[in-house]
Structure 1
Amino acid sequence: MFEAVLFDCDGVLVDSEPITNGVLREVLNESGWAITQAECMQIFIGKAVRDERARIEAETGQPFTEAWLHAFYERRNVRLLAELKAVQGAVDAVAAIHARVEGRIACASGADRPKVVMQLDHVGLLPYFGERIFSGHDQPRSKPAPDVYLAAAAHLGVDPSRCLVIEDTATGAQAGLAAGATVWGYCPEGHGRAFDGMHLHRVFSHMSELESLWLNPP
């Protein structure tokens, strides 16, 4: 049905969003922005922190600097290495899909590449992806622009229309659709409200379902 599968990372392969956004909220609070956890998740999930530079500067009253960003990265990474786990069912799902498409899988994330590599390595998924890891930070535009998915498809030598994208956010799903891929939405709460108004072929609630859904196309 598809020649390649392109996975998002955070929230699809690793349960990192609560950890990363928890640290981000702490750092923003310390910088003068009294943001709640719910607000932080709503604003930043699926996006690169630097893409919200203007908002951060307006809310904190301080310049957004590379030093501030790297201090956040360091603090975030310490917490991730202490607490990060794979999304339930993700390791088996990736192994199964990797076998079915003969290794034509990639990870295409809006996060910085060192973070993605660190996370995949930490949960035992890095051997399945090897060097096929792509970051929106390394592209002209990050999600919701399609650049990172187009780069991953080009590297695999597969037309985007023959790629399946697995995403858990509307921002990421927009990127996959804009690339011309088929997008399946992963929504662990069992509903598709995150994808309201989007034309996704499937929404599923557990990564253990992925192989059976692959074998039974809509």
Structure 2
Amino acid sequence: MNFQAVLFDCDGVLVDSEAITCGVLRDMFEEQGWRMTLTECMQRFVGHTVKSQRALIEANTGVPLTDEWLQQFFERRNVQLEQRISAIDGVHDAVQHLSDQCDGRIAVASGADRYKVEMMLRKVGLHDFFAGRIFSGHEMPRSKPYPDVYLAAAAHLQVDPVQCLVIEDTPVGIAAGVAAGAAVWAYAQPPAAHEPLMQAGAKRVFTSMATLRLS
């Protein structure tokens, strides 16, 4: 179909941030006695907010998940992201192409907090593409897998969600896009498995931003 707008997730789609964030999370869990590999941490937490996994965290650490601990996590995470964040390979050209194709009707709809999203986009030179069209799940009644952040982005662009293409990389995010009524294409960095993304509702899985084209 002819999409009228493209809505991008941020982490793992625009910026290569998930291993950095989960590395900090893993280290902080280890300080509380819960040990796991980075791969295990990513399998458990990528696509989810930390707060949404409160029961799992408290069951494995044996201590309450406090606001103070979350604030420390955000601070340590931000330091690492500011030092190490990079763009997904080829994403600048892909975003430029899709912006041209949709007459600028593109937006970021992330489950992350606004500070993190805007800081990362500035660091990698993508912020100007999305200025004024950045939406955070932290500012919505419900975060992903609920559709709220995608519905808000589509409404701002004045485009029916059914006419929007969502670009995601996790089953949780794909579920949010599908629930919004949009078509979802999933980006999978090799060697990520495609099957869970398709099972979540992705219409297409692609492995290179160079192939992200509407036509």
Which moves more between the two structures, 165-174 or 31-40? Answer: 31-40
Summarize deviations over 1:139-174 as a string: whole Å, max 9, x none.
Answer: 111111111111111111111000000001111001
1:38 and 1:196 mapped to 2: Cα distance?
Answer: 21
Shift of 1:196: 4.1
Is structure 2 residue 160 aligned with structure 1 residue 164? no
2:146 and 2:121 mapped to 1: Cα distance?
Answer: 23
Please tell me whether the aligned partners of residues 47 and 111 of structure 1 are also in contact (alpha carbons under 8 angstroms): no
Is structure 2 residue 85 aligned with structure 1 residue 84? yes
Residue 196 of structure 2 aligns with an amino acid whose one-letter code is A
Counterpart for residue 114 of structure 2: 113
Summarize deviations over 1:76-105 as a string: whole Å, max 9, x none.
Answer: 111111111000011111111112111111
Pairs within 5 Å for 1:81-160: 81-160=82-161
Counterpart for residue 203 of structure 2: 201
TM-score by length of 2: 0.95
Shift of 1:56: 1.2
Please tell me whether the aligned partners of residues 6 and 105 of structure 1 are also in contact (alpha carbons under 8 angstroms): yes
Residue 134 of structure 1 aligns with an amino acid whose one-letter code is F
Shift of 1:123: 0.2
Residue 192 (structure 1) aligned to one of 191, 194, 204: 194
Which moves more between the two structures, 94-103 or 168-177? Answer: 94-103
2:164 and 2:170 mapped to 1: Cα distance?
Answer: 18
Is structure 2 residue 212 aligned with structure 1 residue 210? yes
- Using the aligned pairs only, state the percent identity: 56
Unmatched segments (≥5 aa) in structure 1: none
Pairs within 5 Å for 1:14-93: 14-93=15-94
Moved over 3 A (4+): none
**What RMSD over aligned residues (CA atoms) do the two structures have, in Å?**
1.2
- Equivalences, count: 213
Please tell me whether the aligned partners of residues 174 and 201 of structure 2 are also in contact (alpha carbons under 8 angstroms): no
Shift of 1:36: 2.4
Summarize deviations over 1:116-142 as a string: whole Å, max 9, x none.
Answer: 000001000000000211111111111
1:69 and 1:75 mapped to 2: Cα distance?
Answer: 10
TM-score by length of 1: 0.94
2:63 and 2:201 mapped to 1: Cα distance?
Answer: 40
